[in-house]
Structures are given as C-alpha cells and as structure tokens.
Amino acid sequence: MMNSSHIIVTGGAGYIGSLLTAELLRAGYQVTVLDSLLYGGESLVTFLSHPNFHFSKTDITEARALRDGLPRNWSKPMAVFHLAGIAGFPACQAVGKQAAYRYNVDATRQVFEQAEALDVKKVIFASTYSVYGIAPDGGPVTEESPLNPQSLYAETKLAAEQYLAAAGGVIFRLPTLYGLSPRTRFDLLVNQFVLDAFLKRELLIYQRGYSRSFVHVQDVVAGLLLGLNSPAGQVYNLGNENDCYTKDQIVEFVIKRLPETIVLHKNLTFGGDERDLPPISFEKIRQQLGFQARLTVDDGVRELVNALRFGLISDPRDVRYRNAQFIIQ
C-alpha cells in the first residue's frame, strides 16, 4: 500500500485523527495534520521525526488555515479528512450555540472552499448518527431515513452534512465510539464505564434501558480510509449491527473483566439530547465499500482494562482525555 500521495487531516491530534494519521503514514502517504491542540499534542509526538509527516498548529476557522499550513515542497493534497470541530453533545452545550456553529459548520465550509481552491479531489467528513434522532418507525435507519437531530451537536453536524453533500463530499455517520487511540477519550460511554469501574469499583447508571450502536475507533479509521475510493457525494453509516447494546449489556462486559464492580442505578433524564437511539443499517457500506468491522465492545473493554492495569495511561482522569467535563452515564 505504499503511496506518496499527500493527504490533509484536520483534527489530527484527536481521538480519531491521531490513529488515522498513524495508519496513513504506515500506508506510505504524506500527511499534513492541522490541529489547534485544544486537548494537547502528545498523540503526535512519535510522528515528528517521520519524513512523511508535517504538522501545523492551526485554528481551522481561520480563512487560510489549509493553504498556510501546507509544506512548500510537497505535492498538492489529493484528499482532506475533516475531523476537527467540537465533538459531542456535552462539549457543544458547554461552548454554546454560536461557538458550536462556528467550529462545526462555518469551519467545515471554509475547509471545503480552501480544498476546492487547492484542487483537492475529495473531502471526507466524520459526522454522527445522532442526526437521525428518534426514528418514527423504530428503525433500523438507513442513509435515506428522515433526519431529526435532538441536540445542538447533532444540529451542527447535520448543517455541515447538508453543505458537504451538495458540494460532493463523502460523509460517514458514526455511532458511539470506544477503544484506545494515541489520544484516548474517557468521556465516551464504554471507555468511561471501564475507567469508573477500574478506579472506583463502582458504576452509577442512568437511563439503563436505552440502547445505542457502538463502533471501535480502529474500525472507524478503517472505514474512513475506504472513503478514499468512494464516489463523491455519498453518505455511509459506519459500524456493525452486532454492536448495538443497552447500558446494562455494556455493564456486563465490564463486570466480566472487573467482577468486583458494584452497580447502582438512578432515574434521571436529560433535555436536549436523545440518548435512546434507533438501530442502524450498515448494509450500504458493506455493499459499496466492502467494510466489515473487526472488533467488538468486549475487545474494547479488554484492551482498556489492560491499558489501565499496566499503567500505560498514567493519569486517565486528566482533562486532556475528555472533550467536556460534564459526563452523562
């Protein structure tokens, strides 16, 4: 898979972006990462000496972020993976509507316009399956299902989608992620459950009957890479039907690895974010791109528990492992 083509990754220091950057470099691509380092840049340290890696500390909302961030002696980019933005319902709520739209919608428009001016052939965008909201018939939802976002985060992602779809971008709608990456997040449900069980030996669970789909961050990266061969203007649900669980079922996977965990339940609801999401169909990405998820929630719980037991993440409670401090279970 050696390839000297040049690819831009916005948000390349983040949870998905840092792992995607590693895979692109391994495949022989030249990679330019644009990131403001809001959550730190330790995830990129091992790439700095790589001859095919270039980093620019850049705010993607700036008018010439892409143009000014490129190395002068490399070929023009063939693709942009646009991952930068304010990710997640709690983080968007924390920064407010104006900032969420600036970073998730206005910046997306700027990235695409700059990519077009640079004659970049493809822009690949990470969206969320939260854009579906509540399925009127209970699902499973397909890429053609009605969209009914229930949170500010989902609203901004849908607005960015609508612009990119009309402009020919390739869009991937992601379920709830889990697993390790160079910049692991502990404000995602599976990862957070493992951390709380490991540190506190206790889990306090809200909305226990609600279900959602999950996908390992490694499988997300594999799916995004397939976007390089996708026709323009396509939308794909990225994941696996078998990884749809309630919180009680996730807890079972955690207790399997940490059996001393005590589980407590509390009735509590949250306005503005529908946390019981419909089942999703992933038939399109299988049929058109040949995607198959390799990892399961059980795999993710196992690797997280091992990483914590071995002390590979020295201070998992540090704020750099969270996009927002208000965490909902």
Q: What digits encode the pLDDT tens for the residues 277-300?
A: 778 999 999 999 999 999 999 999
Q: Nearest to residue 7, comparing CAs of 296, 313, 221?
A: 221
| pLDDT value at 108 more than 80 | yes
* 3 band by pLDDT with thresholds 50, 70 and 90: low
235 touches 280 (CB < 8 A): no
Q: Are strands 6-10 and 176-178 parallel, antiparallel or unpaired?
A: unpaired
| pLDDT value at 135 more than 90 | no
Which pLDDT score is estimated for 300?
Answer: 98
Lowest mean pLDDT of 155-164, 175-184, 316-325, name the range. 316-325
Q: Name residue, tokens 């697993």.
A: 179
Q: Where are the domains of the chain?
A: 6-321
**Prediction pTM value:** 0.93
**Domain 6-321 carries which CATH code?**
3.40.50.720
Bridge partners of residue 178, in order along the sequence: 216
d(CA 316, CA 196): 10
**DSSP one-letter code for 141:** B
CA contacts within 13 A on the Cβ side of 191? 23
Which pLDDT score is estimated for 63?
Answer: 85
DSSP assignment of 86-120 equals --SHHHHHHH-HHHHHIIIIIHHHHHHHHHHHTT-
CA 58, 64, 70, 72 dihedral sign is: negative
